[in-house]
Amino acid sequence: MNIIKIILLISIILNLALAKDNKLTNIFDKTKLNGTLVIASLNNDIKYIHNKQRSIKGYIPASTFKIINTLIALEEKVIKDEHEIIKWDGKVRSYTPWNKDQTLQSAISVSCIWCYQKFAKEIKNKKYLTYLSKINYGNQQTGSNVTTFWLDGNIRISAMQQIDFLKKLYKNELPFKQKYIDITKKILTVEKTKDYTIKAKTGFSGKIGWYVGYVEIKNKVWFFALNADVTKDKLKYRKQIVMEALISKNII
């Protein structure tokens, strides 16, 4: 097979992967959600996309920002490790799991907002901007309130950009000490079976829902990023869509 035929074959494969994906469309249609999902292999040789136009549009990251926020907090020594106790301030909040002492592990698992707001007060806006620029995270902006900018500020990131960030995390290509990258990867684990491990984070801004992460299967890694217009009663569909999509593509 000559080089021209090889190039044409690769082009056909890529175009098929990037064309409208009926399997993904059907999964979204069942939930009646307007959103996007990107699933990509480590080397980008295979990529599945639902709603390509939306996949490159930036949205508020909400609690998916806790991934990078964890790295920054550790690097700035705002918190030592995943075992250090984060003392509850005694304020009763609407979500019961937040109303107690936390660790990094529990804080990311229950998406504890007050924990990360506490970190943000110590990190401060100038350092956030420096890190966002170094990492090329989203539009590299914050907002007027350092404790809520990832929920209601000016920062925006697309599903495609989430994939790029997650790949840098997986490949240890972010400007943080390796031990802090390892801690972050560890606490992101949401499911572990004999066949695969999923590391992921949800997000919800009140309007936009996220589910981003990656799945490790033997010697392969697949990255995913979903965002959708959701209300609280439909939050369950974030993970459900991703899991159905991974199954439909014979990834898990």
Tell me the catalytic residues.
Answer: 63
Burial of 174 (0-12, 13-18, 19+ CB in 10 A): buried
CA dihedral 202, 246, 197, 137 (to 10 degrees): -40
Is residue 204 within 8 Å of 195, Cβ to Cβ? Answer: no
Is residue 142 within 8 Å of 129, Cβ to Cβ? Answer: yes
Q: Which residues contact 43 (CB under 8 A, 6 or more apart)?
A: none
**What does the block give as tokens for 250?**
């014979």
